[in-house]
Amino acid sequence: MSTVVNINGRIFHKNNAFVSVFDRGFLFGDSVFEVVRTYGKDKIFAFDMHLERLYKSAAFISLKLAGRKYIEKLIRDTIRKGNNRESYVRLVITRGIGREIGMNPDYAIKPNYFVIVKNFDPPPADINKRCIKAAIASVRRNFKDSLNPLIKSGNYLNNVLAHIDAMKKGGVEAVMINPQGYVAEGTTFNVFMVKKGVYYTPPLEAGILDGITRKVILKLMKENGIRYAEKSIKPAELMSADEVFFTSTLREIQPVVSINNRKIGNGKAGLFTARLYEIFARNISRFLS
Ligand SMILES: Cc1ncc(COP(=O)(O)O)c(C=O)c1O
């Protein structure tokens, strides 16, 4: 089991992986990133979808990336070197070191590519053992017109502030509300609820990341004839839902048992959440490469 870091094609032990203080990723959060995980030693979940989102994020910030082959090789080489049973993989691409310290992106010499690979302990197979508590953060999700949450950029201060706020409120995870007062997403996950047997999740227009797990789940629901809708959700609706769960690459599907210390449903993983997780688990192998 080891943590290794690839920097522009050279792999380092975690203690020897350094970045310049003049890198614009460090100075301004001027970077994009993706987090993927492996199932087993080297099979990556929804890799194509993650790469597609990476290129979209880069286009949003006018960052021109190397070709897919180069990026894929960086990731696969690093996973191999890490040699973990299952891996957490974080790809970060910064605009690079600037000739000058300043906003002008033309100061950047060339992008820097980083891949961090470490051992990943998957969430328990038993959905009942995944339950968590949440709180609604007072910190609002960024305005789409300021820093669009569709961009998976290295600037996560909005999310860090929401997490700090939720911790103060006694919740472990923060749900963020958009500037219009509707549920957006969590700090590192998308939000779903179940009401009267129907699954609901906020639409992309709510100002959220186009989560890959969310996307896979919507596809599976469609394929299986499950009733769902993407719709704007008020915080009060979320808190009075029959079931709430979070989704992300690392969490897969995670039941939420309380929000702001108010019980959701019967305070346990709900049946609809469990049923969806079964479908998800059964289909994972289709998305591995
Ligand atoms: C803000 C935010 N929303 C949602 C997600 C879930 O996305 P995915 O399912 O692609 O992991 C993440 C993942 O890191 C995230 O950072």
Q: What pLDDT digit, counting tens, does each position of 34-55 carry?
A: 999 999 999 999 999 999 999 9
Co-location of 233 and 149 in the same domain: yes
The string of pLDDT tens digits covering residues 208-243 is: 999 999 999 999 999 999 999 999 999 999 999 999
Co-location of 131 and 274 in the same domain: yes
Confidence band, pLDDT 50/70/90 cuts, at residue 176: very high
Co-location of 89 and 154 in the same domain: no
pLDDT of 236: 98
Write down the pTM of the prediction.
0.98
pLDDT of 129: 98
Last-in-domain residue among 62, 90, 119: 119
Q: Are 186 and 174 in contact (CB under 8 A)?
A: yes
Q: Give the count of domains, the chain.
A: 2
Instruction: Compute, in angstroms, the gap from residue 158 CA to the centroid of ligand 1.
Output: 14
Co-location of 114 and 195 in the same domain: no
Co-location of 87 and 195 in the same domain: no
pLDDT of 168 > 90? The answer is: yes
Q: Which of 69, 73, 110, 152 is catalytic?
A: 152
pLDDT of 170 > 90? The answer is: no
Co-location of 174 and 271 in the same domain: yes
Q: Is 152 a catalytic residue?
A: yes
Buried b (16+ CB within 10 A) or exposed e, 190-227: bbbbbbeeebbbbebebbbbbbbbbbbbbebbeeeebe
Confidence band, pLDDT 50/70/90 cuts, at residue 253: very high
Last-in-domain residue among 95, 119, 143: 119
| Ligand 1 binding pocket mutation candidate from 175, 177, 190 (most atoms within 8 A of CB) | 190
Co-location of 49 and 72 in the same domain: yes
Host domain of residue 273:
127-287
pLDDT of 1 > 90? The answer is: no
CA 46 to ligand 1: nearest atom? 10
Confidence band, pLDDT 50/70/90 cuts, at residue 252: very high
* 94 Cβ inside 6 Å of ligand 1: no
Task: Report the CATH number that the domain containing residue 33 is assigned in CATH.
Answer: 3.30.470.10
Co-location of 240 and 138 in the same domain: yes
